[in-house]
Amino acid sequence: MTALNIARREMPLDDLVVRVYHLELIECHDEAEFREGLALLLRNVDEVLDALCFYKPTERRIQRAVDRVKLKAAHMRNICAEVPESFDNPEGWRSAAENIMANYEQFRIEAGLLYRIAVPGSSFGVLRAAL
C-alpha cells in the first residue's frame, strides 16, 4: 500500500486518514490474529494521538471534540494494557476482543464526529471508516 500525503499544514486530520488501518478484532480466528490486531489497534490509537498532539483549533467545540478523542484514545491504551500475556481458556481471548471492539467502536465514533466538524465539507464516516 502506498501512503499518499494529502495533509495540509493546518489540518493534520487529512493525513491521519491515510495513516490508519481499518480494523475488526471480532473477525479474528485465533489468539495470534487477535494479538496482531491488538498491535494494529494500538498503532492506530498512537497515530491519532500523534496527529492531535499539537492540533490547536480555534473553535471551542472542535477543541472539546479533540479532547474527547484524546480521552477515548488514552482509555483504549489502558484497556489494551490490561490484556493478559496469556489466557487460561483457549477461547478466553474472544471476550477480551469483544470488550476492546466495543470500546474501539466508541473511539471510532468520536473520531468520526471530530473529523466531521473539523474538516469543512466532510462526511461523518471518513475517519471512522478508516479506523
Q: Dump pLDDT digits (tens) for 48-92.
A: 999 898 888 889 999 999 999 999 999 999 999 998 888 888 888
* 112 domain-assigned: yes
* 60 domain-assigned: yes
* 28 domain-assigned: yes
For the segment 94-104, the average pLDDT, to the nearest whole number, is 91
Distance between CA atoms of residues 33 and 48, nearest Å: 23
**Res 124: pLDDT:** 59
* 5 domain-assigned: no
φ, ψ of residue 11 to 5 degrees: the values are -135, 85
* 2 domain-assigned: no
Radius of gyration of the chain (CA): 15
* Higher per-residue confidence, 87 vs 3: 87
* Cβ atoms of 30 and 42 closer than 8 Å: no
Structural domain count, the chain: 1
Distance between CA atoms of residues 45 and 108, nearest Å: 10
**Res 8: pLDDT:** 43
Residue-number span of the structural domain to which 34 is assigned: 12-130
Give tens-digit pLDDT for 4-48: 333 444 566 767 777 788 888 778 888 889 999 999 999 999 999
**Res 5: pLDDT:** 36
